[in-house]
Amino acid sequence: MKFPHDLKLQHKCLDCAFKNSGFFCSLPPEQIAAFDAIKITTSFSKGATLFIEGQPSTGIHMICQGRFKLSTNSRNGKALILRISEPGELLGLSATLSDSPHEATAEAIEPCQVNFVRRNDFIRFIKTNAEAAFSAIEQLNKKYRTAHAQIRSLGLSACVADKLAALLLGWAKNVHSDNGDAHLNVPFSHEEIAEMIGTTRETVTRLFKEFRERELITIKRSDLHILDKKLLAASIGTKYHAN
């Protein structure tokens, strides 16, 4: 997991050095050029808000660099982090296609570059570019599967420790090593991690201590080392966990 520190804006999609392997970055050159012609490039500092839950949608936001935290809040102020978006992703896609308010709040967790396209321009773009329309469908499908996995984890996990272990394994799923371990840079506070799994900061702190004592992980500042992914996965469902 690598995060940019010095943000250098890329204004031309065809010349972009940060192309993602999926989604709109993989479109044919002529469709990328068409997208380039209708986008507006902007930058956001860490902590900046892209849009707010319940706010009317004005268009889609394609992340070029950086990541955003998507969260929702209850009436009494309790927050739940839905997911962390990655470069290449379209934010506000479902709200734009359905012409409905945003279902979440998007906050930059590091310096970000975003390409914005107004709703009417985006609708015309996908109507005339089949590959772009199919890519949008793929993104909606990915978000559905992510939401399904999150609901399943929150609803069926026997205890909070299982949810935390599953979250760490999800972050490590694309980290490969010969030893079966995984080194992660985790820039989130215990409060933010708690909001991801529907618990309290104190519980997350206690569980990290437990995981260290069981030699499942080591932590030093933002560096988290899963010593054995299979062993951590095997811990899910055991009765040892604190609730």
Of the listed ranges 23-27, 187-191, 208-212, 219-223, the one predicted with least confidence: 23-27
| pLDDT level of residue 4 (50, 70, 90 thresholds) | very low
Instruction: Give me the chain's average pLDDT, please.
Output: 86
- The per-residue b/e assignment along 185-221, b for 16 or more CB within 10 angstroms, e otherwise, is eeebebebbbbbbbbeeebbeebbebbeeeebbeeee
What SS3 state is found at 57? coil
pTM of the model: 0.73
pLDDT score of 154: 66
* Structural domains in the chain, sorted by start: 13-131 (2.60.120.10), 157-235 (1.10.10.10)
In tens, the pLDDT along 197-227 reads 888 999 999 999 999 999 999 999 889 999 9
CB 116, CB 61: distance < 8 Å: yes
Half-sphere exposure of 208 (CA within 13 A, CB side): 22
In tens, the pLDDT along 87-108 reads 888 999 999 999 999 999 999 9
Kindly list the distances between the CA atom of residue 78 and the CA atoms of 10, 72, 165, 190, in Å, as whole numbers in the listed order.
37, 8, 22, 15
Mean pLDDT of 115-131: 95
**Could you tell me what percent of the chain has a pLDDT over 90?**
52
Joined tokens for residue 114? 């975003």
DSSP for residue 13: G
Question: How far, in Å, CA of 120 to CA of 96, rounded?
Answer: 9
Half-sphere exposure of 173 (CA within 13 A, CB side): 6
pLDDT score of 239: 54
